[in-house]
Copies of this chain bind each other. A is one copy, B any other.
Amino acid sequence: MSFSHFDAEHCFINKFTTLIAGKWKPILLYLIQNDINRFSLMMEHVPNISRKVLTEQLRGLESDGLIYRDELKSKAPKVVIYHLTEKGEKLRQLVDEIIRWGMTYDKEEVPDEMKKILDSDFAQ
């Protein structure tokens, strides 16, 4: 078994982690997965993120082909909706699994309130 291929650029696990590298990208992906898919909505739901950084992270996800911008052609108030691309959809399941792992990883750290939210998010 050779690991010489596992440099930072070509290792598969790093392929994943570099795709979602960035303090907010994972959250943003998760939000978009759940239709929190507009700039102002994300600003509301993500505390303490600046406009600049939000823009940067979204652009990063876009240039990695995980999301795309749907800019509606209305005049006055600009409307932009973000969606997962086909590539991004392939991440959905993995993202969900990571959240499930987070819930069982350190059970005492999960506040009850959060458990309820997550249960209602994923149960159906």
Binding site for B on A (CB under 8 A): 1-8, 10-17, 20-21, 23-24, 26-27, 29-31, 34, 36, 45-48, 87, 90-91, 94-95, 97-99, 101-105, 113-114, 117-118, 120-121
Contacts and interface: CB of A to CB of B under 8 A. Distances in A.
Contact of A7 (B8, B10, B46, B90): B46
B36 A26 contact: no
Contacts of A91: 101
Report the copy number of this chain in the oligomer. Answer: 2
Given A21-B21, A105-B90, A98 B5 contact: no
17 contacts: A4-B47, A5-B117, A7-B47, A8-B24, A10-B114, A11-B26, A12-B99, A12-B101, A12-B103, A13-B26, A13-B30, A15-B102, A15-B105, A17-B21, A17-B26, A94-B97, A94-B98
A28 to B, nearest CB: 10
Q: Is the interface of A mostly helix, strand, loop or mixed?
A: helix
A30 B97 CA distance: 18
